[in-house]
Structure 1
Amino acid sequence: MKEVVFRCTGISVVLLRTVDNRVETLLLKRASSIFNHAWCYIGGGIEEGESAVEAALREIKEETGLIPEQLYTSNKLEQIYNPKENYIYTAPVFVGFVHENSEVKINSEHREFLWLPIYKAIAKATIPGADEILTFIEKHFVQRKPLPYLLVRKEG
């Protein structure tokens, strides 16, 4: 029997900002071989010697130029099955809050970006499962104040 293994070699990050008392989430349109033209949130690999939190902060900076004011672990995992190599890719999902006036500077991995109310982001997200993660984030980080023990980094 050949086992399906789990590999956790990356992270995902949902960025949120509040504008006029409305919470918006950042979606990025991919411009790479993986998920080309897909609308999604931030994702990337964990580099040698990095923790997942360090990878999340690096990927946020690389993909958007942003530095979150607060970064939380969502207590949720993203997962994708790779049928060619017979493994399940898992990634911890983080939630970052950025200042409403923060300027997004996307890198070459993306074609464009949008800040959307979360219900519109749920509808626009392309990758299967992203809608479930965004719905979870909406319930636990938008409709409610995030639980303090989930905070992994705060600026200042």
Structure 2
Amino acid sequence: MNGAEHAKQAVPFRCEGVAVVLLKKSFDQYRVLMLKRAGRILHNEWCYVGGGIEKGEKAWEAALREVHEETGITKVRLYSANQFEQYYSPKEEYIYTAPVFVGYVDESQPVRLNHEHTEYQWMTFDEANDNAALPGIDDILHFVEKHFAKKAPSKWLRIHGEND
């Protein structure tokens, strides 16, 4: 056998989007904003905020824009979760990966959904895990609960935008 018979094929990675877990403190307990999707992908499933990175945009800028577009929320203390959402697309043969951000939201900010979602709910972490659309979301939620809800996040993960 020669080397050509054992040539390897790589599965490409695509990092074109972001995921944002929004937290709001309610009665000394953090709750997670979960949104019910209206589109054809994951229709009627509960997810956190997510979306694509536009040309010229940094990932954290996309995170803030997506939060605003999908929820109407404008004031967010944003952190890098130091985690990544990942899944494999068998149809298109690639591995999708997206940096995860955590945003702390003031209790008084109202949520105004756009066309991408039909409803929202501020859930406990247990409720969010029970309702999460796909495996892997629960891992991210457990991580966020441990490192961002049960204790203060590291200052090194804080993202300071232009409005900070």
Range of TM-score over shorter length: over 0.9
Say whether residues 1:29 and 2:36 are aligned partners: yes
- Within 5 A, what are the aligned runs for 1:11-90? 11-90=18-97
Q: What is the DSSP-based 3-state SS (H/G/I as helix, E as strand, rest coil) of the residue aligned with 2:111?
A: coil
Structure 1 unaligned residues grouped into runs of 5+: none
Q: Which amino acid aligns with 1:115?
A: W
| Superposition CA RMSD, Å | 1.2
**What is the alpha-carbon distance in structure 1 between the residues aligned to residue 75 and residue 135 of structure 2?**
26
**What is the alpha-carbon distance in structure 1 between the residues aligned to residue 75 and residue 138 of structure 2?**
22
Q: What is the DSSP-based 3-state SS (H/G/I as helix, E as strand, rest coil) of the residue aligned with 2:160?
A: strand
Matched residue pairs, number?
A: 156
User: Deviation digits for residues 71-106 of structure 1, max 9, x if unmatched?
Assistant: 000000000101112110000000000001110001
In the alignment, which residue of structure 1 is the partner of 2:107? 100
- Within 5 A, what are the aligned runs for 1:136-155? 136-153=143-160
Q: What is the DSSP-based 3-state SS (H/G/I as helix, E as strand, rest coil) of the residue aligned with 1:153?
A: coil
Higher strand proportion (structure 1 or 2) = 1
Shift of 1:124: 1.2
**What is the alpha-carbon distance in structure 1 between the residues aligned to residue 49 and residue 133 of structure 2?**
13
In the alignment, which residue of structure 1 is the partner of 2:121? 114
Q: 1:76 and 1:68, CA in 2 relative to 1: closer, same or farther beyond 3 A?
A: farther
- Structure-1-length-normalised TM-score: 0.96
Question: Which 4+ stretches in 1 moved above 2 angstroms?
Answer: 153-156
Q: Which amino acid aligns with 1:139?
A: K
- Structure-2-length-normalised TM-score: 0.91
Q: Which has the larger radius of gyration?
A: 2
Shift of 1:67: 2.0
**What is the alpha-carbon distance in structure 2 between the residues aligned to residue 153 and residue 111 of structure 1?**
31
Q: What is the DSSP-based 3-state SS (H/G/I as helix, E as strand, rest coil) of the residue aligned with 1:152?
A: coil
Q: 1:125 aligns with which of 132, 148, 162?
A: 132
Q: Which amino acid aligns with 2:152?
A: K
Percent identity between matched residues is 49
Shift of 1:59: 0.2
Structure 2 unaligned residues grouped into runs of 5+: 1-7
Q: Which amino acid aligns with 1:108?
A: H
Shift of 1:141: 0.2
Does structure 2 retain, via aligned residues, the 8 Å contact 1:68–1:96? no
Q: What is the DSSP-based 3-state SS (H/G/I as helix, E as strand, rest coil) of the residue aligned with 2:30?
A: strand
